[in-house]
A and B are shown apart, each in its own frame.
Chain A
Amino acid sequence: MRIRIAPLLPLLLLAVPLTGSAHHSFAPYEPDRQIAFSGVVTDFQWTNPHIYIEIDVAEGGGEVRHWLIECANTTILNRVGWKWNMIKPGDEIAVIVSPLRNGEPAALLKRVRLADGTEFGNGGPAGPATIGFDGQPLATESR
Chain B
Amino acid sequence: MARVIRRPMQRGAIFALAVGVALSLTAPVQGQDQDDGHGITGSWERWPGQSGGLGSSANPPPVNPAAGRIPDPPLKPAYLEPWRAEQSEIQRLTAEGLPPANNYSACIGDGMPAMMQAMFPMEILETEGQVTIIQEAYNQVRRIYFDGELPAPEDAEPRFAGHSLGRWEGDTLVVETVGIKDYVLFRNVPHSPQMRIVERIRLVADDVLENEVTITDPEYLTGPWTWTWAYRRWPGYRIQEYVCENNRYFRDPEQGYQRLRVE
Q: Which residues of A contact B (CB under 8 A)?
A: 1-3, 11, 13-19, 22-25, 27-29, 31, 45, 47-50, 52, 68, 70, 73-76, 78-80, 100-102, 104-106, 124
Contact = CB atoms under 8 A, between A and B. Distances in A.
A47 B246 contact: yes
Given A24-B105, A48-B246, A75 B136 contact: yes
Most chain A CB within 10 A, of B90, B104, B240, B247, is at B104
B229 to A, nearest CB: 12
A48 B242 contact: yes
A24 B260 CA distance: 10
B87 A14 contact: yes
Nearest to B246: A47
B97 interface: yes
A101 B95 CA distance: 12
Contacts, number: 112
A22 B119 contact: yes
Tell me the interface secondary structure of chain B in the complex.
loop
B232 to A, nearest CB: 14
A73 B102 CA distance: 18
Interface of B: 50-52, 54, 68, 70, 87, 90-91, 94-100, 102, 104-105, 107, 110, 114, 117, 119-120, 136-137, 186-188, 240-249, 258-260, 262
A79 B239 CA distance: 11
Given A16-B90, A16-B102, A50 B240 contact: no
B52 A45 contact: no
Given A3-B52, A22-B119, A105-B262, A28 B244 contact: no
Contacts of B94: 13, 16, 19, 25, 27
A22 B246 contact: no
Contacts of B240: 74-75, 78
Contacts of A16: 90, 94, 99-100, 102, 187-188
A106 to B, nearest CB: 5
A69 to B, nearest CB: 11
Contact of B246 (A25, A29, A49, A100): A49
A22 B120 contact: yes
B192 to A, nearest CB: 21
29 contacts: A1-B52, A1-B54, A2-B52, A13-B91, A14-B87, A16-B100, A16-B187, A16-B188, A17-B117, A22-B50, A23-B137, A24-B105, A24-B249, A25-B94, A27-B94, A27-B98, A28-B258, A29-B97, A31-B97, A50-B248, A68-B248, A68-B260, A70-B248, A73-B242, A74-B240, A74-B242, A78-B240, A100-B260, A100-B262
